[in-house]
């Protein structure tokens, strides 16, 4: 639906190139029939057509869109989607790549390693997470099911990117997320600092749980880094590309 800058340039050049080539072909026909093989139409026509075939501007007009289509298709086969030809053309200008953490840098199959809270907190947490597509949510729901926890219906579910979730379950307001989210919601989490720091030092993602603005527990989830991640990031570094991990997790 849109043209890359290089394709627009090729179209401009073709706009001048076509009449020039046609003009040269006509001139070749005239010279051939007048001077080379005088009065012989067929050889003059063959010479004119030869000029058109050899200098055909079609290749100039078709090469760019064809290469963009091939590039887009090959990239799609490898799970890379481009918004359009212009973005493919600009990839050589990339100096920074921003990566999501869960499922991109990590395997995206986390498991609950620790739970510090009561049964009600786990029930409300798993009930809120059952409708989420995030891998961390799957880990929590699976953990609750192994503990034979009955899941409840959730209303007024809200996901806050980079922070956590809010939900209303059986008339109780549930807040789950990181320190910043709890501070934003005015939940006192002083008693959780020591255990949360301990979880974080062991490479786990810790999420705080509050019910009706009161801190009720914490869940720790661990996800392993993909075997190919280090090599992929090294390749990007070798290309002088800065790599950034964008995550709502702690440092």
Q: What is the pLDDT of residues 222-250, one digit of tens each?
A: 888 899 999 999 999 999 999 999 887 76
Average pLDDT score over residue span 157-169: 88
Nearest to 157 by CA among 174, 145, 144, 141: 174
Q: Of the candidates 93, 116, 143, which is a domain's last residue? A: 93
Identify whether residues 217 and 130 lie together within a single domain: yes
- pLDDT bucket at 89, cuts 50 / 70 / 90: confident
Identify whether residues 126 and 213 lie together within a single domain: yes
Residue 196 has pLDDT above 90, yes or no: no
Residue 98 sits at φ, ψ, to 5 deg, of -105, 125
Find the domain containing 183 and state its range: 106-225
**pTM, entire model:** 0.54
More reliable by pLDDT, 87 or 94: 94
Q: What is the H or E stretch that residue 146 is in?
A: helix 135-146
- pLDDT bucket at 1, cuts 50 / 70 / 90: low
Whether 99 is in a domain gets the answer no
Average pLDDT score over residue span 178-190: 90
Q: How far is residue 70's CA from residue 186's CA, in Å, rounded to a whole number?
A: 53
Mean pLDDT of the chain: 87
Identify whether residues 79 and 122 lie together within a single domain: no
Whether 244 is in a domain gets the answer no
pLDDT above 90 covers a percentage of the chain that reads: 42
- pLDDT bucket at 88, cuts 50 / 70 / 90: confident
Residues in the chain: 251
Domains held by the chain: number: 2
Q: How deeply is 131 buried, as exposed, middle or buried, from its count of CB atoms within 10 A (0-12, 13-18, 19+)?
A: middle
Identify whether residues 61 and 146 lie together within a single domain: no
Whether 238 is in a domain gets the answer no
Q: What is the H or E stretch that residue 177 is in?
A: strand 172-177
Identify whether residues 13 and 58 lie together within a single domain: yes
Whether 100 is in a domain gets the answer no
Active centre residues (catalytic)? 100
Q: How far is residue 112's CA from residue 129's CA, in Å, rounded to a whole number?
A: 13
Average pLDDT score over residue span 46-67: 81
Q: Which residue spans within 77-163 are E strands per DSSP?
A: 96-100, 111-117, 155-160
- The tokens of 149 are what? 């926890």
Compute how many other C-beta atoms are within 10 angstroms of the C-beta atom of residue 111: 15
Identify whether residues 46 and 17 lie together within a single domain: yes
Identify whether residues 187 and 134 lie together within a single domain: yes
């Amino acid at each position: 639906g849109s043209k890359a800058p290089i394709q627009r340039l090729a179209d401009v050049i073709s706009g001048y190139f076509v009449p020039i080539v046609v003009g040269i072909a006509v001139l070749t026909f005239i010279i051939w029939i007048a001077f080379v093989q005088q009065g012989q139409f067929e050889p003059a026509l063959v010479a004119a057509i030869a000029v058109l075939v050899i200098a055909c501007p079609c290749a100039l007009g078709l090469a760019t869109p064809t290469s963009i289509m091939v590039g887009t298709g090959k990239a799609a086969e490898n799970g890379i989607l481009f918004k359009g030809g212009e973005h493919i053309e600009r990839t050589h200008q990339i100096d920074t790549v921003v990566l999501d953490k869960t499922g991109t840098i990590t395997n995206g199959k986390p498991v609950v390693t620790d739970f510090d809270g009561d049964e009600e907190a786990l029930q409300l947490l798993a009930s809120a997470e059952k409708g989420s597509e995030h891998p961390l949510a799957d880990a929590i729901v699976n953990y609750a099911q192994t503990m034979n926890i009955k899941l409840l219906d959730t209303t007024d579910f809200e996901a806050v990117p980079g922070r956590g979730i809010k939900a209303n379950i059986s008339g109780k307001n549930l807040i789950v997320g990181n320190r910043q989210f709890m501070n934003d919601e005015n939940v006192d989490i002083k008693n959780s600092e020591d255990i949360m720091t301990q979880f974080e030092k062991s490479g786990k993602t810790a999420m705080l749980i509050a019910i009706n603005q009161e801190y009720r527990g914490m869940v720790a989830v661990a996800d392993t880094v993909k075997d190919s991640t280090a090599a992929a990031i090294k390749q990007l570094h070798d290309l002088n590309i800065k790599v950034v991990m964008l995550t709502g997790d702690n440092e």
